[in-house]
Structure 1
Amino acid sequence: MRSLGFAAFRLLGPPVGASAPQHSWSLANRGAGHEVIAETLRIQEEHPSRSWWARLVGTNPLSARSHSWFRGAVGEIAVGKILARLGPEWTVLHAVPVGAGASDIDHVLIGPAGVFTLNTKNHSNTDVWVGDRAILVGGHQQHYLPHARHESSRAAKRLSTAVGEPVPVTPVLVLIEPKQLTGKQRHADVKVVTDRELLRWLQRRRPVLTDEQVARIAAAAVVPSTWHNNPAPPEDPVALQERFAELRGSVRSARLRRELWRLGGMVAVLGLLTGAEPVRSVLDVF
């Protein structure tokens, strides 16, 4: 997977119609889920720490507000790992800030097969139905298709301006581990794939860009001002990932403790029913 950064920008020169980079940082350094992770951690900081009893019984450390953000971050990280398996001819950017506010595009891909914006939705173990104009998640309609179209349109406009020639962008909606995916439209303008289908679908697409075009687009894409009106330096991506990994570990540990308590209760009931000596303490199962 290619990461051009500013070295390639200097080597190739600025794309036609683009100005020289104005920032000392590159979007190529951002990890998957950067913005969602930052928001998850920010919300969590407002949530009181769990009591010793809550930790003992495995109460979920996530607050009600941070839960959906956490799931979103986990989904984007999962897709980021998949995209890392693309060949060196691809440039992959994550959490690309776009516009004037806090909006971002989950993933932007640039390679011989074209330019793609990926919107990731984590709906693991949930039924999803996809039609030409609507998506139902657990029976509830979501506005994912128009949002994906809007993202690709913004990306195409921004990149076209930076490069100085039209840059078509294909919108892709990536669904993480749906329980069942039905009604999928293969010829819709928004490509809908599961995380398991994503890599193969990208690798099987025929080339539409030359190496020079890929390099010119990628060189412009890593420049923050290509996308955002007033880009601000991001938080340290390494520190952010470390803090999120710690939170994720706490969530896993709490889930395990809940399972062990449930198992201890089942063992105790079974012992009473069979007349066997009961477990002296639920803590024994730990």
Structure 2
Amino acid sequence: MPQPIDDPNDRRMLLRYTGRCRLCGATLTAGTDAVYERNRRTVRCVECAPVVTPSADMSPVVNPAGAPSEDADVLRLRSPASSVIAEALRVQSSVPPRTGTQRFFGRSPLNVESRPWYLGALGELEVGRLLDQLGPEWFAFHAVPVGSAGSDVDHIVIGPGGVFTINSKFHEGGNVWVASRRLLVNGQRTDHLRNAEFEARRVAKLLTQAARRPVDVTPVIAIVAARRLTIRERPERVVVLAASQLPRWLQNRVAVLRVDEVAEVSRMAATPATWGQPNIPVADLAAFAELRSTVTAARNRRRSWALALMLSPLAMLATLTVGMLSLLR
């Protein structure tokens, strides 16, 4: 029998990741309409939980003028990496399909144009997953479009410890070196620090205008999948840390906002009008999950071929050794 949602922390949303219904065991792919049980960190399909009791996370959102917003849940329920995924799939759509031979040998379906977008999406998805570990007193908004030029903020996090912009940087296997005014990846200079600082100032300005009071914003760069992260000297205005450290770092911040202040700033952040006239692209999460599966399968096939080539000389040597021993008997 379908069960109502009686936990105020449960909320109906489009799933960001593939999951399984806790009650009936049905597989729920990314993008499926379902109920997220926040305290349990599990999901239920809508057939098992068709009745939704409004929760604090689903409270009406008002715009700066005080009128109810028609897009109250657009940003609250937005999946991490939505903008990057949409662009990755758009660029990937022009990539010619692989030939049978290319698939056999594990050639990646990505090309030089789509690969950076794909990797950027992986970084944002991982940070979004980590931010889901924060308690119910924290609010995280993902892929927040700002203005009409197509730019967005990877993550905006609001909680007792303050307001933060989180910039996800995926540097798989790379060496990241940080000083007070420089961030190098494999010895190459980047604009990560400057861009993160600019992003935080922009978000602070817009939230200040919407809330009609000063809102301080701290820029954070979350490094994903790097082989080594060396902090030679901490930057003065930007926090740089490994993504895995992010949830605990946020939860350990000294409280600077009251509960009502967190709620107020979160309402402003959830209102699209706060960010100008943004274009909010809808990401096809199922299509990206399929692309990700294809990329992973191709990588595994390449690794299998590399292992086979590495072992083949050993196999030949073993065969020769057995043959020589048989001749000596």
TM-score bracket for the superposition, by shorter chain length: 0.7 to 0.9
**Corresponding residue of 2:290:** 246
**Corresponding residue of 2:127:** 79
1:141 matched to 2:189 = yes
Contact 2:73–2:270 (8 Å) recurs in 1:
no
2: CA distance, partners of 1:28 / 1:135: 32
**Corresponding residue of 2:199:** 151
Deviation at 1:124, TM superposition (A): 1.9
1:104 matched to 2:104 = no
- Which structure features the higher share of helix residues? 1
Structural mapping, 1:59-74, within 5 Å: 59-74=107-122
Q: Choose which of 49, 52, 75 in structure 2 pairs with 1:27.
A: 75
**Corresponding residue of 2:170:** 122
Deviation at 1:7, TM superposition (A): 4.5
Between 258-267 and 198-207, report the one with greater CA deviation. 258-267
Q: Choose which of 295, 303, 306 in structure 2 pairs with 1:262.
A: 306
2: CA distance, partners of 1:154 / 1:233: 18
Deviation at 1:274, TM superposition (A): 2.1
2: CA distance, partners of 1:242 / 1:8: 28
Residue 8 of structure 1 aligns to which amino acid in structure 2? S
Deviation at 1:266, TM superposition (A): 2.9
1:179 matched to 2:227 = yes
Residue 135 of structure 1 aligns to which amino acid in structure 2? L
Aligned residues between the structures? 270
1: CA distance, partners of 2:116 / 2:307: 28
2: CA distance, partners of 1:21 / 1:247: 35
Structural mapping, 1:35-54, within 5 Å: 35-54=83-102
Coordinate RMSD, CA, aligned: 2.2
Deviation at 1:196, TM superposition (A): 1.9
**Corresponding residue of 1:275:** 319
Task: Describe the superposition over 1:48-105 as per-residue Cα deviations: whole angstroms up to 9, x where unpaired.
Answer: 0000111111001111111111111101100011000000001100000012211000
Structure 2: 5+ residue stretches without partners: 1-8, 12-54, 322-329
Q: Choose which of 60, 64, 68 in structure 2 pairs with 1:9.
A: 60
Rg bigger for which structure? 2
Provide the identity percentage: 40
Deviation at 1:131, TM superposition (A): 1.1
1:230 matched to 2:277 = yes
Residue 133 of structure 2 aligns to which amino acid in structure 1? R
2: CA distance, partners of 1:46 / 1:210: 49
TM-score normalised by structure 2 residue count:
0.77
Contact 1:2–1:90 (8 Å) recurs in 2:
no
2: CA distance, partners of 1:206 / 1:80: 22
1: CA distance, partners of 2:232 / 2:78: 32
Deviation at 1:25, TM superposition (A): 5.0
1: CA distance, partners of 2:249 / 2:234: 12
Identify which of structures 1 and 2 has the higher relative contact order when contacts are C-alpha pairs closer than 8 Å and 6+ apart: 1
Contact 1:6–1:219 (8 Å) recurs in 2:
no
